[in-house]
Amino acid sequence: MRIVITGASGQLGSELKDLLLYNTVYECYFLDRKQLPLDQIQIIQQILGMYQPDLIIHAGAYTAVDKAETDQVTTNLVNNLACEEIAQYCRVHNTKLIAISTDYVFDGSSASPLTEYATTNPINVYGQTKLAGELAIQKWHPEAIIIRTSWVYSSYGKNFVKTMCRLMTERDEVNVISDQIGSPTYAKDLALVILKVLDSVEWKAGIYHYSNEGEISWYDFAVAIRDFRSFDCEVRSIPTSAYPTPARRPMYSLLDKSKIRSTFGIQVPNWKVSLGTMLTEEFKDK
C-alpha cells in the first residue's frame, strides 16, 4: 500500500514518520508544507497525482489558533479548502482517507464527555475552518475516516508540555488556566492509533474521537509536568478571564472515546502515563 502523509513536519506527522519511515509493509511519502503547500489549493490534486497513493493520512493543518483570527483567508485555505481538494482527489481515484480534526469544533458548553454525535458549534476561526473541512470531506468522500483529537503534544514541535518545561526552568512561578477542562493527547499514541486503524480487517468510515484517558485542566497538566521533572516552580491557578487571548477556547472539550475503542479495539492510555513516557524522551526542536 502506498501512503501519503501530509503535515509531515508537524507533531503528529513527525511521530508517524518515526513509526513508518523504515517499515517494510507500506510505501510511505512524507510531505511537509514545502512539498505540499496546503494554501495553494490549485496544485494539491496535481501533486497528489504524482504519488498515486492508495491512502492519505491528512495530518496537515493551520494550527496557530490565535493567529487564525486575523489570518482568516490562509486558515480557510489550509483547514477547509485543502480538505475539499484532497477529498475530491480521493473520490475520483478511489483513495482511502484518514483526516485529523479537533475538539475545537465544539463550543465548550457541555458538562459531559463529547461523543461523535454531539452538536458542533465552533467559537473561533480555527474551529470554524476545521469543521468546514470535516463537512467538505464528508460531502466529497463519505468513506473517509475523521479522527478528532485535543490538546496535542509531542517531543516534536511547539506545544504546552515543552513550553512549560522551558518556563519552569526560567521562572519561580507560572500562571496556568484551571477552568478549561479536557484531556491531552500524546501525538505518538495517536500515531499508533492510526496504524491500528490501517491494520484493521474492515475499513469503517465515519468520525471518531481520540485523546488520552482522564479529565483534567491545563493547571492539572502543568502541575504534573512540574512534579515529573521535579522543577522548583510554583504553579498558580488562574481563570480564563485572567488570560485573554484573541481566540476564545472551549471551556469543556473532553472527548468520549467509546466509539474508537469498540470499533477498532483501541486501548487508550491514561494521560499521566503518556506524559511520563514523553518526558523521558529527548525533545526535538522541529
pLDDT digits (tens, 9 = 90+) for 68-115: 999 999 999 999 999 999 999 999 999 999 999 999 999 999 999 999
In the block, residue with C-alpha cell 499521566? 272
If 0-12 CB within 10 Å is exposed, 13-18 middle and 19+ buried, where does residue 242 land? exposed
pLDDT of residue 282: 82
**Phi–psi pair at 165, nearest 5 degrees:** -60, -40
Q: How far apart are CA 33 and CA 236, in angstroms?
A: 38
- Is pLDDT of 286 > 70? no
Residue 219's pLDDT is: 98
Q: Tell me which of 29, 89, 126, 210 is the catalytic residue.
A: 126
The mean pLDDT value for 183-194 works out to: 98
Using the predicted structure, report yes or no on whether residue 207 has a pLDDT greater than 50. yes
Q: Find the helix or strand (DSSP H, E) in which 76 lies.
A: helix 72-76
- The string of pLDDT tens digits covering residues 223-278 is 999 999 999 999 999 999 999 999 999 999 999 999 999 999 999 999 999 999 99
pTM of the model: 0.97
Distance CA 285, CA 45 (A): 31
Cα angle 244, 246, 123; round to 5: 100
pLDDT of residue 25: 92
Active site annotation includes 186: no
Which residues are bridge partners to 2 per DSSP? Answer: 27
> Which residues, 6 or more positions from 68, have their beta carbon under 8 angstroms from its beta carbon?
62, 75, 124, 125, 126, 129, 247
pLDDT by residue (tens digit) across 115-156?
999 999 999 999 999 999 999 999 999 999 999 999 999 999
Cα separation, 142 vs 51, whole angstroms: 22
Asked: is 2-158+185-215+253-269 a CATH 3.30.230.10 domain? The reply is: no
Identify the pLDDT of residue 46: 98
Over 50: is that where the pLDDT of 178 sits?
yes
> CA angle, 126 as apex, 123 and 128 as ends, to 5°?
55
Closest CA to 211 of 121, 126, 271, 160: 271
